[in-house]
Chain A
C-alpha cells in the first residue's frame, strides 16, 4: 500500500506561474515530513515539517503541514526554468526504538517552460 501519495505526478508550467504540489500520507506514528528537490542526481533537502499550520519559507518556496488532514503542500511562486526537477515528499515514521527512515512518495515532475 502507498503510504505517501504525491499529486500531480507531473506538471508543465510557464515561467512566472505559481504551482502547488500536494503530498498526502498515512502512517501510524508520524514524526516529520520532508520535501526534497531532485534534479539528475541525489535529492537535496528543502524543508522539514513537524508541526501543523506553521509555514516554512525559503525564497520563492514555501511549505505547510496539516497533521489533522494528513497532508502537506509545497508552493513555488514566480517559477523559473531552474525549478524544473522532481519534487519528493517523504515521511519519517517513529516506531519502537527505531526511527528515522524515510518513506518517499513517487515524486512530482515539474517542468518549467521559458
Chain B
C-alpha cells in the first residue's frame, strides 16, 4: 500500500454512460497525476495537477475526459459518453515537488474500467 487510494477499483459500464473515478493522494503531496494503461503497454500520461491547478493535459485526453482537483487534495476523473476504446486501467499517482527537494511518484492501485 503506497498511501494513494482510488475508488472504485473496478467499474463495468455500458457504452454511452458517464463514469467518474476518484483518487486520494498522499496527504502532503502537492502533485497528482492521472495515467491510463492498456494490456501489454506501459502507462500513458493523461494529465497532472499542482495543488488545484491543472498544469498539463495530454493529447490523449479528449473532450469527453475531464479532471478536477477542487481543493488541491483528492481528484476526480470523469469520462462522458464512454466508448469501448476507453476500457483500460486508470492509474493515479502523487508526488511532492518543492523548491529544495522532491520525490518520486507513488501510484495508487488503479481503477479498471470495462466498457461493454
Chain A residue numbers with a CB within 8 Å of B43 are: 43, 88, 90, 102, 104
Find the A residue at minimum CB distance from B31: A100
Give CA–CA (A104, B95) in the complex, Å.
17
Chain B residue numbers with a CB within 8 Å of A41 are: 109-110
Q: Taking the complex as formed, is B99 at the interface, i.e. its CB lies under 8 A from any CB of chain A?
A: no
B48 touches A101 (CB 8 A): yes
| B1-56, CB < 8 A from A | 2, 31, 33, 35, 40-45, 48, 55-56
Give CA–CA (A107, B109) in the complex, Å.
18
Chain A residue numbers with a CB within 8 Å of B108 are: 42
The number of residues on chain A lying at the interface, defined by a beta carbon within 8 Å of a beta carbon of chain B, is 21
- Given the known A-B contacts A45-B104, A45-B106, are A105 and B95 also in contact in the complex, defined by CB atoms under 8 Å? no
Q: Taking the complex as formed, is A28 at the interface, i.e. its CB lies under 8 A from any CB of chain B?
A: no
Main SS at interface, chain B: strand
Q: Mark A29-46, 1 if CB is under 8 A from B, else 0.
A: 000001010000111110
Interface size class of chain B, counting residues whose CB lies under 8 Å from the partner chain: 20 to 34
User: Shortest CB–CB separation between residue B34 and chain A, in angstroms?
Assistant: 10
Which residue of the partner chain, among B44, B48, B58, B109, contacts A100 with CB atoms under 8 Å? Answer: B48
Which residue of the partner chain, among A42, A45, A102, A106, contacts B45 with CB atoms under 8 Å? Answer: A102
Give CA–CA (A48, B42) in the complex, Å.
17
Find the A residue at minimum CB distance from B44: A104
Q: Taking the complex as formed, is A58 at the interface, i.e. its CB lies under 8 A from any CB of chain B?
A: no
Chain B residue numbers with a CB within 8 Å of A97 are: 55
Chain A residue numbers with a CB within 8 Å of B97 are: 100
Chain A residue numbers with a CB within 8 Å of B73 are: none
Find the B residue at minimum CB distance from A45: B104
Give CA–CA (A45, B105) in the complex, Å.
8
Which residue of the partner chain, among B40, B105, B106, contacts A102 with CB atoms under 8 Å? Answer: B105
Q: List 19 A-B contacts (CB under 8 A).
A: A34-B104, A34-B105, A41-B109, A42-B91, A42-B107, A44-B2, A45-B104, A45-B105, A48-B104, A88-B42, A98-B56, A100-B48, A100-B105, A101-B45, A102-B105, A103-B45, A104-B43, A105-B42, A107-B42
